[in-house]
């Protein structure tokens, strides 16, 4: 019996853990690629995300490259930003792209109606965004205005940015200083059209989508449907039914899911700093819930698109807390603690494990807004705990998913329980990378793993800090960062991992 079990394990070439917390890593079943775009970001004309966060203009005394902050450019390159969504968000469905091209002094100013009512001078437009993507080596993902735009306007934008043909739009682009088109593959057709993007019902939107999609053309273009808010499967179902499985109309369906500690959009959402274990637990509970939501939408998608041609794109996710005291209304400024590192690690593990159907995800937002990897204040810049998770996890980008089967003890608080550990694994260039989170703030968790062969740990890292409320602040030494993780050992083909309380770890083996 024992022999045949060992034989079975050898055949499957699995790594098995025999403890309360066990992880079976199936090395024979790799094949699904973890699209690098799962590690994507989102930038919106909101608060200080674009202006101050990314773009300060050439004349600024903040060191810059053609107006883009030098410190931020370097940080993004180091973190690796595979795809960047722009210009919104709710802003996108108020945005008329022709306002943001040509000489800056001729560009009209508009009011940013959704975000603080501030004046938008359009000095950061199509050229500034797409040139920025080239500078940091990222794929652009443009969000097209459906709520207050026209099909003609959308069609012309696509032509302006992607076409080599001779046409009024390509001539205009050349006149504005860009000879060749940029490489733009991803186009979102509308944003939250069930809400800020025009308050539409799903049948109306789906028919509009069909209309827009017919005129947005190009060989490599991927068109993304505005999908549901959170668990609204009725939106997903009605849209897919109305699209009637028409081939090539859409390659992606977006979904937005934010983690609010209290779960309330109307009252307090919870604070980003100075919180207790009740809010810590609730935040992680509400994060893990995204897995259920994804499974529900995938079940609907399987019904209408059994071949899986349309992928799920989680193009807005992350924590959403009350704005920091003293900050401007509508700017969505918050801090970022070890709790956010766990939120990022958990979400990314979940997305990795759905790599067969999730092709992209974009954390909201890349600088100074909601769960940002980077915060800026004047000349200063801070790398948040979320930054370090993205940096540590970038080994999974375009690696092959290694399916894992995890058995974990619970982390319980006040009569409620969530899984204490989440995990995902991938393989690239014969290196196995495993990322694990331990949500329990009061307990280190040990996982013992019997390996089928002689792996050696090549790299092990951890993101944590003394308290789960710790964060990195301006003008102070960093408290939360990546350090070497020494609590993992392989001995006699056995891997033993002791994952410290409230931490996220990476273990790489060869
Ligand atoms: O990310 C902030 C806002 O959240 C976006 O503009 C909108 O799409 C969502 O409601």
**pLDDT tens per residue across span 210-241:** 999 999 988 899 999 999 999 999 999 999 99
Whether the ω angle into residue 365 lies within 30 degrees of 0, i.e. cis, is yes
What are 272-299's pLDDT values in tens digits? 999 999 999 999 999 999 999 999 999 9
Same fold: 20-28+403-509 with 36-399: no
Virtual torsion, Cα 42, 43, 45, 50, nearest 10 deg: 160
Sign of CA dihedral 8, 12, 15, 16: negative
pLDDT tens, position by position, 92-103: 999 999 999 999
pLDDT at 151 over 80: yes
Average pLDDT across the chain, whole number: 94
**Residue 93's closest CA among 188, 225, 221?**
188
- In angstroms, the CA 359 to CA 363 distance is 14
Q: Is the CB of 47 under 6 A from ligand 1?
A: no
Q: Please name the residue whose Cα sits nearest to atom 2 of ligand 1.
A: 89
Short-list 485, 420, 349, CA closest to 22: 420
Domain ranges of the chain: 20-28+403-509, 36-399
Q: Residue with the nearest Cα to atom 5 of ligand 1?
A: 89
| CA 97/CA 476 separation, integer angstroms | 40
Q: Tell me the DSSP string of 328-396.
A: PTTS-----BHHHHHHHHHHHHHHHHTTTTEEEEEEE-SBSSSS-SEEEETTEEEE-HHHHHHHHHGGG
User: What is the average pLDDT across 116-137?
Assistant: 98
139 beta partners: 83
Q: Could you report the per-residue pLDDT of 394-449, keeping only the tens digit for each?
A: 999 999 999 998 999 999 999 999 999 999 999 999 999 999 999 999 999 999 87
Whole-number Å distance, alpha carbon 90 to ligand 1 midpoint, is: 6
Instruction: Find where tokens 């969530």 sit.
Output: 418
- Assign 13 a pLDDT band (cuts: 50, 70, 90): very low
Q: Is the beta carbon of 461 within 6 A of some atom in ligand 1?
A: no
pLDDT value, residue 24: 84
The whole-number average pLDDT for the span 2-8 is: 47
Residue 207 has pLDDT above 70, yes or no: yes
- Predicted confidence at residue 92, as pLDDT, reads 98
Residue 185 has pLDDT above 70, yes or no: yes
Which among 94, 334, 81, 276 has a CA at the least distance from the CA of 190? Answer: 94
Per-residue model confidence (pLDDT) at position 219: 82
Q: What's the whole-number mean pLDDT along residues 382-394?
A: 98
Is the model's pLDDT at 385 over the cut of 90?
yes
At residue 452, the pLDDT reads 66
pLDDT range class, residue 16, cuts 50, 70, 90: very low
At residue 7, the pLDDT reads 45
Instruction: Say whether domain 20-28+403-509 belongs to CATH 2.60.40.1180.
Output: yes
CA 200 – ligand 1 centroid, Å: 16
Query: Cα(114) to centroid of ligand 1, in Å?
Result: 9
- For residues 355 and 403, is the Cβ–Cβ distance under 8 A? no
What tens digit of pLDDT does each residue of 28-76 get? 776 799 999 999 999 999 999 999 999 999 999 999 999 999 999 999 9
Does the pLDDT of residue 248 top 60, yes or no? Answer: yes
Asked whether 48 and 368 are in contact (CB, 8 A), the reply is: yes
Highest mean pLDDT among 2-11, 16-25, 473-482: 473-482
Share of the chain above pLDDT 70, in %: 95
Q: What percent of the chain has pLDDT over 90?
A: 88
Can you give the pLDDT at residue 129? 98
The beta strand positions in 80-230, using DSSP E, are 83-86, 110-111, 119-120, 139-144, 186-189, 222-225
Superfamily of domain 36-399, CATH level 4: Glycosidases (3.20.20.80)
Separation between Cα atoms, residue 222 and residue 142, nearest integer Å: 11
Whole-number pLDDT of residue 28: 79
HSE-CB at 223 with a 13 A cutoff on CA atoms is 23
90 lines ligand 1 (CB under 6 A): yes
Distance 504 CA to ligand 1 centre (A): 27
- Ligand 1 centroid, distance to 316 Cα (angstroms): 7
Ligand 1 binding pocket includes 366 (Cβ within 6 Å): no
For ligand 1, pick from 41, 44, 120, 198 the residue to mutate: most ligand atoms within 8 Å of CB: 44
- Best residue among 224, 226, 259, 364 to mutate for probing ligand 1, ranked by most atoms within 8 Å of CB: 364
Between strands 457-464 and 503-509, the pairing is antiparallel
DSSP H/E element including 488 = strand 488-491
Q: Give the full edge-to-edge strand order of the sheet including 488-491.
A: 445-450, 494-499, 488-491
Of ligand 1's listed atoms, the one at least distance from the Cα of 91 is: 6
pLDDT of residue 10: 42
Give residue 244's pLDDT: 83
As given in the structure block, the two tokens for residue 121 are: 């001078």
- Closest residue by Cα to atom 3, ligand 1, is 89
CA–CA dist 27, 424 (Å, integer): 12
**What is the rounded distance in angstroms from the CA atom of residue 362 to the CA atom of residue 82?**
10
Q: Which atom of ligand 1 is nearest to the CA of 316?
A: 1
Token code pair at residue 236? 């997903």
Ligand 1 lined by 67 (C-beta under 6 Å): no
DSSP string, 57-75: -TT-SS-EETTEEHHHHHH
| Ligand 1 pocket, mutate which of 120, 232, 256, 362 (most atoms under 8 A from CB) | 256
CA atoms within 13 A on the CB side of 431: 13
Tokens of 212: 């827009």
pLDDT 10s digits, 329-350? 999 999 999 999 999 999 999 9
Average pLDDT over residues 369-384: 98
Catalytic site positions: 192, 316
pLDDT of residue 450: 67
159 and 171 Cβ atoms separated by less than 8 Å: no
Residues facing 432 on adjacent strands? 427, 509
Q: Which atom of ligand 1 is nearest to the CA of 88?
A: 6
Q: How far apart are the CA of 470 and the centre of ligand 1, in A?
A: 26
């Amino acid at each position: 019996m024992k022999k045949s079990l060992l034989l079975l394990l050898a055949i499957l070439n699995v790594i098995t853990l025999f403890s309360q917390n066990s992880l079976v890593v199936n090395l024979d079943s790799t094949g699904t690629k973890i699209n690098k775009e799962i590690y994507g970001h989102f930038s919106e004309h909101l608060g200080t995300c674009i202006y101050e966060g990314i773009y300060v203009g050439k004349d600024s005394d903040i060191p810059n490259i053609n107006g883009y902050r030098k410190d931020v450019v370097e940080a993004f390159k180091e973190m690796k930003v595979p795809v960047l969504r722009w210009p919104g968000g709710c802003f996108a469905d108020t945005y008329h792209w022709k306002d943001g091209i040509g000489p800056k002094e001729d560009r009209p100013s508009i009011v940013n109606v959704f975000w603080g009512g501030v004046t938008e001078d359009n000095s950061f437009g199509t050229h500034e965004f797409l040139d920025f993507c080239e500078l940091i080596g990222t794929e652009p993902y443009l969000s097209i205005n459906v709520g207050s735009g026209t099909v003609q306007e959308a069609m012309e934008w696509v032509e302006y940015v992607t076409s080599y043909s001779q046409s009024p739009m390509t001539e205009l682009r050349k006149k504005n200083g860009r000879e060749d088109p940029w490489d733009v593959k991803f186009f979102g057709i509308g944003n939250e059209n069930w809400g800020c993007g025009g308050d539409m019902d799903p049948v109306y939107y789906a028919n509009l989508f069909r209309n827009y999609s017919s005129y947005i053309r190009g060989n490599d273009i991927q068109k993304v449907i505005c999908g549901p808010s959170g668990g609204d499967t009725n939106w997903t179902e009605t849209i897919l039914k109305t699209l009637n499985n028409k081939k090539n109309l859409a390659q992606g369906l977006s979904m937005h899911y934010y983690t609010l500690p209290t779960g309330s959009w109307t009252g307090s959402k919870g604070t980003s700093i100075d919180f207790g274990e009740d809010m810590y637990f609730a935040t992680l509970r509400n994060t893990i819930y995204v897995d259920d939501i994804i499974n529900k939408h995938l079940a609907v998608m399987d019904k209408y698109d059994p071949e899986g041609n349309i992928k799920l794109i989680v193009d807005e996710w992350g924590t959403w807390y009350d704005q920091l005291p003293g900050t401007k209304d509508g700017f969505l400024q918050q801090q970022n603690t070890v709790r956010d590192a766990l939120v990022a690690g958990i979400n990314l593990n979940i997305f990795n494990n759905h790599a067969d159907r999730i092709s992209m995800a974009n954390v909201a937002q890349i600088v100074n807004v909601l769960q940002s990897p980077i915060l800026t204040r004047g000349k200063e810049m801070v790398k948040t705990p979320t930054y370090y998770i993205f940096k540590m996890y970038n080994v999974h980008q375009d690696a092959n998913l290694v399916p894992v089967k995890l058995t974990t003890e619970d982390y319980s608080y006040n009569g409620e329980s969530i899984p204490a550990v989440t995990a995902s694994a991938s393989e690239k260039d014969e290196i196995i990378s495993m990322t694990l989170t331990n949500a329990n703030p009061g307990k280190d968790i040990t996982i013992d793993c019997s390996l089928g062969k002689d792996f050696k740990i090549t790299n092990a890292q951890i993101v944590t800090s003394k308290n789960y409320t710790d964060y990195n602040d301006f003008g102070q030494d960093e408290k939360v960062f990546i350090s070497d993780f020494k609590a993992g050992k392989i001995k006699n083909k056995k891997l033993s991992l002791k994952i410290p309380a409230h931490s996220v770890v990476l273990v790489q083996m060869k």
